Structure 1
Amino acid sequence: MKKLIYAMTIPLLWACQPQEQKAANLTYPESNKVDTTDIYFGTEVPDPYRWLEDDNSEETANWVKAQNEVTDSYLNNIDFRDKVKARLTALEDYEKVSAPFKRGDYYYFYKNDGLQNQSVLYRVKNFDDEPEVFLDPNTFSEDGTTALGGLSFSNDYKYTAYNISEGGSDWRTAYIMDTETKELLDDEVKWIKFSGMSWYKDGFYYQLFDEPKEGDELSAANQYGKVYYHKVGSDQSADELVYSNPDNAENRFGAGVSDDERFLFIYSYVGTSGNELYVKDLSNPNSDFIPIITGFDNDHYIVDNDGDDLIIHTNLDAPNNRIVRVSYQNPTPENWEDMIAETENVMSASTAGGNIFTSYLIDAKTAIRQYDYQGNLIRDVELPGIGTAGGFGGAQEDEELFYTFTSFTTPSSVYRYNIASGESDLHSRPELDFDPEVYETKQIFYTSKDGTEVPMFIVHKKGIELNGKNPTWLYSYGGFNISLQPSFSTSRLVWLENGGVFAMPNIRGGGEYGEEWHKAGTKLQKVNVFEDFIAAGEYLINEGYTSSEYLALQGGSNGGLLVGATINMRPDLAKVAFPMVGVMDMLRYQNFTIGRAWSADYGTSEDSEEMFKYLYSYSPVHNIDPDATYPAVMVTTADHDDRVVPAHSFKYAATLQEKNPNNPNPLLIRIETKAGHGAGMSTEKRIELYSDMYSYAWYNMGVIPEIAKKDM
Structure 2
Amino acid sequence: MSRHSASTRSPPETKRETVTETLHGVEVTDPYRWLEADDEAVAEWVDEQNAHVDAALDDGIRDRLRPRFEDLVEVADYGPITVREGRYFATVREPGADHARLVVRDAADGDDRVVVDPNAWAANRGGEGPPRSMAWYVPAHDGERVAVGVTEGGDENYDVRVLSVPDPEADESTEDEASEADSESDASEADSESDASSGYGAGVEEVAVLPERGRVNAGSFAWDADCEGFVYVATGGAADGAQMDKEVRRFRFAGGAADETVLLEHDDQHVWPRVTVDSDSGLLAVAFSEMVGGTEWYVHVDGDLRPVLTDTDAETSVRFHDGTAFVSTDHDAPRRRLLACSVERFREGDLSFEECREVISEGEGILQSAVPTADSLLVHRQRDAHSRLSVHDRDGTHRRDVSLPEYCSVTWLSAARDAPEAYFGVTGFDRPPAVQGLDLTVGSGDDAGVNDADADESGAADADASEAAAPTEIDSVDLSVPDDLVVEQRFVDSTDGAEVPVFVCYREDVDVDGPRPTQLYGYGGFRNSVTPSFGRFRLPFLADGGAFAAVCARGGYEYGEPWHEAGMLAEKQHTFDDFVAAGEALCASGLTDSDRLAVAGGSNGGLSVGAVVTQRPDLWAAARCAVPLLDMLRFHRFLLGESWTTEYGHPEDPEAFEYLRAYSPYHNVDPDATHPPVYFTTAASDTRVHPSHARKMTARLQSEADGGPFLLRTKPETGHGVGKPASMVVDEQTDSWAFCYEQLGIEVGDDAE
Partner deviation per Cα, 1:473-517 (whole Å, 9 max, x = no partner): 100000011111112121111111111000001111110100000
Summarize the alignment of residues 6-25 of structure 1 with structure 2, pairs less than 5 Å apart.
22-23=6-7, 25=8
Summarize the alignment of residues 233-632 of structure 1 with structure 2, pairs less than 5 Å apart.
238-245=259-266, 248-281=268-301, 286=302, 288-295=304-311, 297-307=313-323, 309-326=324-341, 327-328=345-346, 329=348, 330-354=350-374, 355-421=376-442, 423-430=469-476, 432=478, 434-463=480-509, 468-607=514-653, 609-632=654-677
Residue 671 of structure 1 pairs with residue 692 of structure 2: no
Residue 182 of structure 1 pairs with residue 204 of structure 2: yes
Q: 1:126 to 1:335 in 2, by over 3 A?
A: closer
Q: Is the 8 A contact 1:550 1:575 kept in 2?
A: yes
Q: Is the 8 A contact 1:224 1:252 kept in 2?
A: no
2:640 partner letter: I
Q: 1:60 to 1:408 in 2, by over 3 A?
A: same
Residue 170 of structure 1 pairs with residue 156 of structure 2: yes
Q: 1:539 to 1:279 in 2, by over 3 A?
A: same
CA distance in 2, matches of 1:21, 1:347: 45
Q: Which moved more, 1:88-97 or 1:690-699?
A: 88-97
Partner deviation per Cα, 1:168-212 (whole Å, 9 max, x = no partner): 112111011112331113422422315332111311111112356
Given the two structures, how large is their TM-score scaled by the length of structure 1?
0.90
Q: 1:336 to 1:467 in 2, by over 3 A?
A: farther
Q: Which residue of 1 aligns with 2:466?
A: none
CA distance in 2, matches of 1:709, 1:461: 12
Q: Which residue of 2 aligns with 1:29?
A: 12
Given the two structures, how large is their TM-score scaled by the length of structure 2?
0.85
Pairwise CA distance, 1:235:
6.5
CA distance in 2, matches of 1:595, 1:18: 33
Q: 1:386 to 1:641 in 2, by over 3 A?
A: same
CA distance in 1, matches of 2:409, 2:110: 30
CA distance in 1, matches of 2:677, 2:242: 33
Q: Which moved more, 1:364-373 or 1:527-536?
A: 364-373
Q: Which moved more, 1:135-144 or 1:294-303?
A: 135-144
Q: Is the 8 A contact 1:576 1:700 kept in 2?
A: yes
Q: Is the 8 A contact 1:192 1:206 kept in 2?
A: no
Q: Which residue of 1 aligns with 2:29?
A: 46
Q: 1:325 to 1:185 in 2, by over 3 A?
A: closer
Identity %: 30
Q: How many matched pairs?
A: 677
CA distance in 1, matches of 2:84, 2:691: 39
CA distance in 2, matches of 1:129, 1:364: 34
Instruction: Give the RMSD, CA atoms, in angstroms.
Output: 2.4
Pairwise CA distance, 1:407:
1.2
Q: Is the 8 A contact 1:349 1:356 kept in 2?
A: no
CA distance in 2, matches of 1:706, 1:618: 39
CA distance in 2, matches of 1:351, 1:431: 25
Q: Is the 8 A contact 1:466 1:545 kept in 2?
A: no
Q: Which moved more, 1:361-370 or 1:334-343?
A: 334-343
Q: Is the 8 A contact 1:209 1:224 kept in 2?
A: yes
Q: Which residue of 2 aligns with 1:65?
A: 47
Partner deviation per Cα, 1:654-709 (whole Å, 9 max, x = no partner): 1111112xx34311111111111112211111111111111111112233222389
Q: Is the 8 A contact 2:295 2:314 kept in 1?
A: yes
1:115 partner letter: G
CA distance in 2, matches of 1:292, 1:127: 37
3-state SS of paired residue (1:424): coil
3-state SS of paired residue (1:401): strand
1:406 partner letter: T
2:116 partner letter: L
Q: Is the 8 A contact 1:303 1:349 kept in 2?
A: no
1:122 partner letter: V
Pairwise CA distance, 1:110:
2.0
Q: Is the 8 A contact 2:276 2:286 kept in 1?
A: yes
Residue 699 of structure 1 pairs with residue 742 of structure 2: yes
Q: 1:640 to 1:480 in 2, by over 3 A?
A: same
Q: Which moved more, 1:463-472 or 1:624-633?
A: 463-472
Q: 1:297 to 1:566 in 2, by over 3 A?
A: same
Q: Which residue of 1 aligns with 2:117?
A: 136
Pairwise CA distance, 1:352:
4.0
Q: 1:242 to 1:431 in 2, by over 3 A?
A: closer
Partner deviation per Cα, 1:415-446 (whole Å, 9 max, x = no partner): 22111115434333546453431211011111
1:424 partner letter: A
CA distance in 2, matches of 1:157, 1:537: 49
Pairwise CA distance, 1:623:
0.6
Summarize the alignment of residues 122-161 of structure 1 with structure 2, pairs less than 5 Å apart.
122-126=103-107, 130-140=111-121, 141-142=123-124, 145-161=131-147
Q: Is the 8 A contact 2:521 2:599 kept in 1?
A: yes
Q: 1:636 to 1:416 in 2, by over 3 A?
A: same
CA distance in 2, matches of 1:621, 1:523: 18
Q: Which residue of 2 aligns with 1:653?
A: 698
Pairwise CA distance, 1:305:
4.6
Q: 1:543 to 1:21 in 2, by over 3 A?
A: closer
CA distance in 2, matches of 1:425, 1:375: 21
Q: Which moved more, 1:580-589 or 1:203-212?
A: 203-212
Partner deviation per Cα, 1:118-175 (whole Å, 9 max, x = no partner): 1112222246754222211222332694221211122232321111122111211101
Pairwise CA distance, 1:452:
1.2
Q: Which residue of 1 aligns with 2:188?
A: none
Which of 212, 226, 232 is 1:206 aligned to?
Answer: 232
Partner deviation per Cα, 1:224-276 (whole Å, 9 max, x = no partner): 31111122376666521112335x34432111112314311111133334221
Q: Is the 8 A contact 2:72 2:536 kept in 1?
A: yes
Pairwise CA distance, 1:601:
1.3
CA distance in 2, matches of 1:659, 1:629: 11
Q: Is the 8 A contact 2:246 2:265 kept in 1?
A: yes
Pairwise CA distance, 1:570:
0.4
Unaligned runs of 5+ residues in structure 1 are: 1-16
CA distance in 1, matches of 2:552, 2:280: 39
1:655 partner letter: R
